[in-house]
Homo-oligomer: A and B are copies of this chain.
Amino acid sequence: MTEIKRNISKVKGFKVAGVHAGLKADGALDMALIYSETPCVAAGVFTTNQVKAAPVLVDQETLAKNNTHIRAVIINTKCANACTGQHGLDNARLMQRWTAARLGIGEDEVLVMSTGVIGTQLDMAKIECGIALAVDGLGDENWEAAARAIMTTDTRPKFHSIRMVAGKGQEYRRNLAGIAKGAGMIAPNMATMLGLLATDAYLEPNEIQNTLKRIADRSFNRIVVDGDMSTNDTLLLLANGHKDDLLAYHPVAFPIHAAYIAENLARDIVRDGEGATKFITLRIDGAPDNETARQIGNAIATSPLVKTAFYGGDANWGRIIAAAGRSGVAVDPAKMSLTFQSDDGKDALKLFEGGVPTQYDESAATALVKADSVTVILDCGMGSESATIWTCDLSHDYISINGHYRS
């Protein structure tokens, strides 16, 4: 038996801060610090972009040396510290060192995340000042401030938390908080997707990386805003539960609860996608395997024509079938069927089957597409595997936001 309490305000042993270091011109919060009073088992999943930002390289290096006593994560906005060469790497390491010094911990116990414009160097005077302010500002209940401090073109902070209770006698009671930023997922210039999960549960050092990978596959790896991939994408998991505390370890319940939080953060990112007016759940059924289902789903979710049709409230299913057709998978239109469904699952309308459109009611199809959120189910008729992708439409606001991002 499992119980859940949502929207808790703190996670045992963690102190966090969101401060203004002068990086954002408008006085908004622009640096965040996550600190654990005791060592954390930690893991990270990072962008697969060949062009990796300096903080990504530094975190990969740090976690390779030490994933059992991570103590802090320092995060800045406005500058991605990507395409910054050796100088950028030196600066990322300096952020580690300064944070460690202020907190009285080791350099290898600090991870770094950056987000913002590519190709400019960090303003290290402001970064140093921000680190001092953040250390001074640490508190138990500052999660939402931290979430706010990592925003770029995000219009709202993304913070979810949960108390997990599992076991007959409810022996396992642990807390989990997650913050993320995204907006233009995945927008290289914004070095976009950053996420952090912090828990007072215990996780085995040799299990945590796989656990985080599975959590990411069920959440952040399911979302598409524009198909671009950041140089900075990073998701970190910090677990400060003690290994001798038997009640802190629940390898079955934890991934489920963590995926729930990560899913909520990922959906928030899509809902707050740059210029997004519509939340689209894309379910690819009847695939030979999950990877193939994802490949088809990604082709649809990144199609400008599919996305603009949803923006226009046009039930233009032909674009979905055509995008599946160019996905690189040997789909057969005669075996496919396409259904639009309302988000509550009450209304469903099959539009295409056996290679031809059904005799569907165009006004009913339009009504489904005009809603704030819609589920699209494409059955490929090639097997029994599925994948779900969350995406949004492509609107005039996306063009406006990204046509002049740097100015």
In contact, B355 and A85 (Cβ under 8 angstroms)? yes
Smallest CB–CB gap between A16 and chain B, Å?
A: 29
Cβ–Cβ < 8 Å partners of A404 in chain B: 312, 314
Q: Whole-angstrom distance between the alpha carbons of A402 and B50 in the complex?
A: 33
In contact, A51 and B304 (Cβ under 8 angstroms)? no
Digit string of A363-407 for contact with B (CB within 8 Å is 1, else 0)? Answer: 000000000000000000000000000000011101110111111
A49-B322, A50-B325, A118-B318 known; A189 vs B331 contact (CB < 8 Å): no
A51-B331, A321-B118, A406-B316 known; A356 vs B84 contact (CB < 8 Å): yes
Cβ–Cβ < 8 Å partners of A396 in chain B: 396, 399-400
A326-B229, A398-B304 known; A51 vs B333 contact (CB < 8 Å): yes
Q: Whole-angstrom distance between the alpha carbons of A356 and B120 in the complex?
A: 9
Q: Whole-angstrom distance between the alpha carbons of A352 and B398 in the complex?
A: 26
Q: Whole-angstrom distance between the alpha carbons of A228 and B319 in the complex?
A: 9
- In A277-306, the 8 Å CB interface with B consists of 302-305
Q: Whole-angstrom distance between the alpha carbons of A308 and B326 in the complex?
A: 24
Q: Is A323 an interface residue (CB 8 A)?
A: yes
In contact, B51 and A189 (Cβ under 8 angstroms)? no
Q: Is A227 an interface residue (CB 8 A)?
A: yes
Interface size in chain A (residues, C-beta < 8 A): 71
Q: Considering residues A119, A229, A305, which has the most beta carbons from chain B within 10 angstroms of its beta carbon?
A: A305
Q: Is A354 an interface residue (CB 8 A)?
A: yes
A189-B316, A316-B405, A399-B395 known; A357 vs B119 contact (CB < 8 Å): yes
Q: Is A166 an interface residue (CB 8 A)?
A: no
Q: Is A48 an interface residue (CB 8 A)?
A: yes
Q: Is A226 an interface residue (CB 8 A)?
A: yes
Cβ–Cβ < 8 Å partners of A325 in chain B: 49-52, 188, 229, 231
A-B interface, 9 closest residue pairs, ranked by CB to CB distance from nearest: A118-B318, A312-B403, A188-B322, A51-B325, A85-B356, A308-B402, A229-B326, A49-B325, A50-B325
In the complex, given contacts A85-B356, A228-B323, what are 15 additional A-B residue pairs having Cβ atoms less than 8 angstroms apart? A49-B322, A49-B326, A50-B327, A51-B333, A87-B356, A119-B352, A187-B305, A189-B309, A189-B319, A228-B322, A304-B402, A305-B402, A309-B405, A312-B402, A314-B406
Q: Can you offer 17 A-B residue contacts whose CB atoms are under 8 A?
A: A49-B322, A49-B325, A49-B326, A88-B356, A118-B321, A119-B317, A189-B305, A189-B319, A228-B305, A229-B322, A229-B326, A304-B394, A304-B398, A312-B407, A316-B406, A394-B399, A396-B400
